[in-house]
Amino acid sequence: MAISKPLLHTCLSPALLNLYDVSNAVVVIIDVFRATSTIATALYNGAKCVIPVDSVAKCIALGKKIESISAGERDGKIAEGLKYGNSPFEYPKEFIAGKTLVLTTTNGTKLLHMALDKGAGSIITGSFPNLGAVCDYLLSQNQNVLLGCAAWKDKVNIEDMLFAGAVINRVKNNFSINCDSSQIAETIYNDANENLFEFIKQKNASHYLRLSNYGLEKDIQYCLTADVANVLPFYEDGKLLVHKK
């Protein structure tokens, strides 16, 4: 008897999340530029945990209440009232090891809280720096998967779709995929794979320009590099912690 495979879907925008059943599913929060890349990096570099909060006010309040680094970004820049931003390079080992990072970002933390409110089975975060860890986890679970793109203010973006495509490319044989968004994501990834940075530069003109105008070309390069911070951030009791195998 054929054993049926778990389902995999890709949701291209938080505004489409309500179309998908996430109960009992693993939801992968994807915010390539730069929230989920930074979360993986901070944890890889030894942060005790990352607490994602959905507003700057909560971020400041929590930062005062517990011993932590409070950080966040709005529209690609450090949010007013916060000292640290959303660049992975702000969180090297020497700075972040052993510390708690309270983080708010434009799109990524918002989607995470939406998935939580919808009763997701479990929530992890994905980015190229921890691509391998994400795929290993999905392959080990035999559960339905939703790849959730954080997008940009609900508008579909290329970079989150590329990461969804990268995951699909690696795990597809273990899932049943009847989802056009997933097919599109993998097709785009296969086109771009040879040089993700050049593809983004060419196709994603406006967002690329916004970030590179802030001097963040180095961030973009890093956020498109696979497996350089290969841990699995797993959400539990309000915190993202490294998942132990």
Task: Please report, as ranges, the residues that interact with a copy of itself according to CB under 8 A.
Answer: 12-13, 15-16, 19, 152-158, 161, 178-181, 183-184, 187-188, 191, 203-207
**In angstroms, what is the minimal distance from the CB of 155 to a copy of itself?**
6
**In angstroms, what is the minimal distance from the CB of 75 to a copy of itself?**
15
In the bound state with a copy of itself, the residue whose beta carbon lies nearer, of 141 and 212, is 212
**In angstroms, what is the minimal distance from the CB of 229 to a copy of itself?**
25
In the bound state with a copy of itself, the residue whose beta carbon lies nearer, of 28 and 71, is 28
**In angstroms, what is the minimal distance from the CB of 212 to a copy of itself?**
14
In the bound state with a copy of itself, the residue whose beta carbon lies nearer, of 173 and 206, is 206
In the bound state with a copy of itself, the residue whose beta carbon lies nearer, of 158 and 171, is 158
Three-state SS for the chain is CCCCCCEEEEECCHHHHHHCCCCCCEEEEECCCCHHHHHHHHHHCCCCEEEECCCHHHHHHHHHHCCCEEEEEECCEECCCCCECCCHHHCCHHHHCCCEEEEECCCHHHHHHHHHHCCCCEEEEECHHHHHHHHHHHHHHCCCEEEEECCECCECCHHHHHHHHHHHHHHHHHCECCCHHHHHHHHHHHHHHHHHHHHHHHHCHHHHHHHHHCCCHHHHHHHCCCCCCCCCEEEECCEEEECCC
